[in-house]
Structure 1
Amino acid sequence: MTNKERAAYVDLELERRYPNPPIPLDHVDAYTLLVAVLLSAQCTDERVNKVTPELWKLADNPDDMRRVPVDSIRDVIRPCGLSPRKSQAIRDLSEILMAKHGGVVPQSFEELEALPGVGHKTASVVMSQAFGFPSFPVDTHIHRLGQRWGLTSGKNVAQTEADLKRLFPKERWNHLHLQIIYYGREFCTARGCDGTVCPICRALYPDRKRAKVTRKA
């Protein structure tokens, strides 16, 4: 198979399995999504969803959140890990949203990535899931799957994102990102598949006998 043929197979198979993938992080608006995505760094979505209801009791908008002591934020989000850095970022970005953006989450990569604690992947998720802008957020799991499926040489997540964007239609990016996440969790986990086990890996590489060695992001 060529790269394009593999991509076409992946596209059809994921659409068949997950035609309407839900957004995994619970949220009610762009701000709560932004904070939830920030909390999800090196943390599972499941754990974030358990923590955020308590956080929203403290504040669920930037105007209120900027008034909450950092220590109080940290105490609530501690289960998500990296709580000192994340709590400070949540407080600081809330202050900036009020000072520079009228309390509204900006709808541009440049402005989002200028916020504390917000990198390109977080900005991509917000642009995609809050605003519907075509984006292809790539985390380490998607990066790994892209390599297992022969869609990228994957030296880093930036290269993987660029390769996936070239292979798939722009109108599929937002859904496909979520579909890959759900497939990876169900079938192609870090320990559950080494490039030879899951249905897509076997379909794309039926003759692969050895584990696919993937490059770290």
Structure 2
Amino acid sequence: MGAPRGAGPTDRAGGGVMEQRAGSGRAHRGSTLLALGLVVPFLALTLVVATGSADTLDLRIAHHFRPTDAWWGDLQNTWSPWMSRLRPLHVMVLFATTVVGVCALRRSWWPMAFGATLSVAGVAALRLLQLVLARPDPHGYLEPGGGSYPSGHMLAVVVFLGGALLMVWPRVRWWWWASLAVPAGLMAAALVITVAHWPTDVLGGGLLALALVTGASRSTLRRLAHDR
């Protein structure tokens, strides 16, 4: 159907703006609901881990891949290099390089503010949970900086690579999000197969990271980072 009789260009333009705002509002609500949908299972998993209810399943999976601490086979040799290739420092440098490049391209400091806020939020949430839960790793070691839940390796891959996607494109298509599953899956498999982390550590790190990235996708800072 065409524009109503008597409707001029201004009326049609106004209608387009209203439709655009309505679509933006729906997307914002969708992202908020998705973030909340990720927070709920994360909190439930955290409760399960804190009460020790996940220990039996974690032990069973860990013993399947490495019956003893001394065990190290071809499977571990195949997957362990991915922990080094995708280590937190590497993905953090990639994210920082992306932020600096976007700042220079757009001649704005807002991308830096967005990147810094996302990074600080991720690290703060990670360290707080690790300190509060103080969960030893599968080898019984507890680092002075906190325990093994949630996995920092897993969180770093998803937060920094997901953050880079949010930084570069105003609207990230689904196939780019799908591509993020490749490095995340490689890191998750490497951590579980080598028993560097409990499986629930890996799952918790992934859920927390996805909640942070989803929440950041509709933040005011990200919108300002894309304004020119």
Length-normalised TM-score, structure 2: 0.24
TM-score, structure 1 length as denominator? Answer: 0.24
Higher RCO (CA 8 Å, separation ≥ 6 residues) = 2
